[in-house]
A and B are shown apart, each in its own frame.
Chain A
Amino acid sequence: MVSVLKRGLAIITLLIIGYWLAQGLAGVPFGQDKMLVGQYYLDHVKQQTGAVNAVTAIVVNYRGFDTLGEVTVLFIASTGVAALLWGKRRKRTAKTEGSIVLTTGTRLLAPFVMLFGAYIFIHGHLTPGGGFPGGATIATAFLLMYMAFTVYEIPHRAFEKTEGLVGMGYVIVGLIGLAIGGYFLFDWIWQTWGWGHNNIGRLFSGGFIPVIYTIIGIKVGTELSGIIDNMLKEEVSE
């Protein structure tokens, strides 16, 4: 009886909250032009950043601090998982080897998944996507390896070093901007060097967006792989 009462109360509360939110949103006109800052971005994105994809230009260029923050959040998540699970002797305990269809399929698929991840992050300024989806795709390749093989482990040393180096790379790119242009994450490749001005829409354009997205892609890829590695290991008693 208690559970029925609980459920009833929960449903009523949710209905009230839902109605309240709907009331709030009813005041927002749907389908009307209400862009204030948005129009500025759309009008200036090409000449100010060289990127065709306005979303990546905003995320990396106009509001680069947010992205730096997100990368930091991910880094903290990865470090946090590692810290929580640290200290005890841990190893893979999966017992059943997959069938030959699974393992061979994974062997064949992993390079293509990685290449596609690289394709996504390198074309961040031209196509939908960018560093985070690209990095997540690359981590999927490692997840595949973990799922298909009982003993597979990522090369830890190389991964942790790469992760740290590319993280520093992001900040260094920002600091070079500070030195050249006067503020952090200033797009020196586009604004000062003018590199890529004549071929907007082709690959070698977009200022430092491809550089930063390569950094983010590698960082996210290695970090998510590290989280997978930590989560999949089980404690072993001595």
Chain B
Amino acid sequence: MEEASPASKFAYTFIVLFVVWLFFTASLDPQELAMGAIMSLVVAALTYDVFTKAGLRNLHPKRVAYAIAYIPYFLWAMIMANLDVAYRVLHPARPIRPGIVKCKTVLNSDTGKLALANSITLTPGTITLDVDGDEYFIHWIWVPDEVLRAKEESEHVEHASEAITKPFEKFLRVIFE
């Protein structure tokens, strides 16, 4: 994925910041809008280079639709994750089998990797420890049998990725790649 032009990056940063300003002020007063536009322009001019690589391409309707669809999907996963942890805490036998596993991701962009790492941390008993290239090192609260009994590393990675990164990747690949 090649980098977008500076103009496209600047425009994208400005749009994002201006939308955030609208949420900050929660008002459509023309004075607020004017000042918001000025401030967003200034901040975008200072930071557009670090903020984004893909620029306006991020606003492609398909990406936005997937991003919006991802919110309830992710929230549901998060609720289930917390119930799962509550179950493990309250269960008399305390069913935990912790371990660190390695996963591979198909995502290439930095932002996509960040989103995946955070999604993993916030959902079922998994915490991202480190990201190195396309490898994720993840602490799992309950390492399932097929990962535990894997003979080879490739098999181990395959099973772990199937359980941890795949469910998010189908969304994140569209949103960030």
Tell me, yes or no, whether A binds B.
yes
**Set of chain B residues within 8 Å of A118, measured between Cβ atoms:** 39, 42-43
**Set of chain B residues within 8 Å of A122, measured between Cβ atoms:** 35, 39
Shortest B145–chain A CB gap in Å is 29
Q: Is the CB of B39 within 8 A of A115?
A: yes
In whole angstroms, what is the CA distance A103 to B110 when docked?
A: 9
Q: Is the CB of B113 within 8 A of A203?
A: no
In whole angstroms, what is the CA distance A202 to B32 when docked?
A: 8
Number of interface residues of A (CB under 8 A): 22
Taken residue by residue from 29 to 47, chain A's Cβ proximity to chain B (1 for < 8 Å, 0 otherwise) reads as 0000000000000000000
Q: Does B13 lie at the interface of the complex (its beta carbon under 8 Å from any beta carbon of A)?
A: yes
Q: Is the CB of B114 within 8 A of A115?
A: no
Q: Does A8 lie at the interface of the complex (its beta carbon under 8 Å from any beta carbon of B)?
A: no
**Set of chain B residues within 8 Å of A202, measured between Cβ atoms:** 29, 31
User: Which residues A92-124 have CB closer than 8 A to chain B?
Assistant: 99-101, 103-105, 107-108, 110-112, 114-116, 118-119, 122
**Set of chain B residues within 8 Å of A103, measured between Cβ atoms:** 110
Q: Is the interface of A mostly helix, strand, loop or mixed?
A: helix
Shortest A29–chain B CB gap in Å is 40
Shortest A19–chain B CB gap in Å is 47
In whole angstroms, what is the CA distance A114 to B29 when docked?
A: 22
Q: Is the CB of A111 within 8 A of B44?
A: yes
Q: Does A195 lie at the interface of the complex (its beta carbon under 8 Å from any beta carbon of B)?
A: no
User: Among B13, B111, B128, which residue has its beta carbon within 8 angstroms of that of A104?
Assistant: B111
Shortest A140–chain B CB gap in Å is 14
Q: Is the CB of A203 within 8 A of B29?
A: yes
Taken residue by residue from 28 to 57, chain B's Cβ proximity to chain A (1 for < 8 Å, 0 otherwise) reads as 010110010001101110110011000000
Nearest opposing residue in chain B for A112, CB measure: B20
**Set of chain B residues within 8 Å of A107, measured between Cβ atoms:** 50-51, 110
Q: Is the interface of B mostly helix, strand, loop or mixed?
A: helix
In whole angstroms, what is the CA distance A116 to B17 when docked?
A: 10
Taken residue by residue from 41 to 75, chain B's Cβ proximity to chain A (1 for < 8 Å, 0 otherwise) reads as 01110110011000000000000000000000000
Among A101, A107, A111, A119, max chain B CB count under 10 A is at A111
**Set of chain B residues within 8 Å of A111, measured between Cβ atoms:** 13, 16-17, 43-44, 46-47, 50-51
In whole angstroms, what is the CA distance A119 to B43 when docked?
A: 11
In whole angstroms, what is the CA distance A118 to B16 when docked?
A: 15
**On chain B, which size bracket covers the interface?**
20 to 34
**Set of chain B residues within 8 Å of A199, measured between Cβ atoms:** 31
**Set of chain A residues within 8 Å of B25, measured between Cβ atoms:** 119
User: Among B20, B32, B50, B132, which residue has its beta carbon within 8 angstroms of that of A203?
Assistant: B32
Q: Does A204 lie at the interface of the complex (its beta carbon under 8 Å from any beta carbon of B)?
A: yes
Nearest opposing residue in chain B for A107, CB measure: B50
Taken residue by residue from 138 to 149, chain A's Cβ proximity to chain B (1 for < 8 Å, 0 otherwise) reads as 000000010000
Taken residue by residue from 201 to 220, chain A's Cβ proximity to chain B (1 for < 8 Å, 0 otherwise) reads as 01110000000000000000
Nearest opposing residue in chain A for B129, CB measure: A99
In whole angstroms, what is the CA distance A203 to B38 when docked?
A: 13
Shortest A43–chain B CB gap in Å is 27
Can you pick out 20 interface pairs between chain A and chain B where the beta carbons lie within 8 Å of each other? A100-B131, A101-B113, A101-B118, A104-B110, A104-B111, A104-B113, A104-B114, A105-B114, A108-B111, A108-B114, A110-B51, A112-B20, A115-B21, A115-B24, A116-B24, A119-B21, A145-B50, A202-B29, A202-B31, A203-B31
Please provide the 8 A-B residue pairs with the shortest distance between their CB atoms, ordered closest to farther: A203-B31, A104-B114, A111-B47, A104-B110, A118-B39, A107-B50, A101-B117, A114-B43
- B residues sitting closer than 8 Å to A (CB atoms) are 13, 16-17, 20-21, 24-25, 29, 31-32, 35, 39-40, 42-44, 46-47, 50-51, 110-111, 113-114, 117-118, 128, 130-132
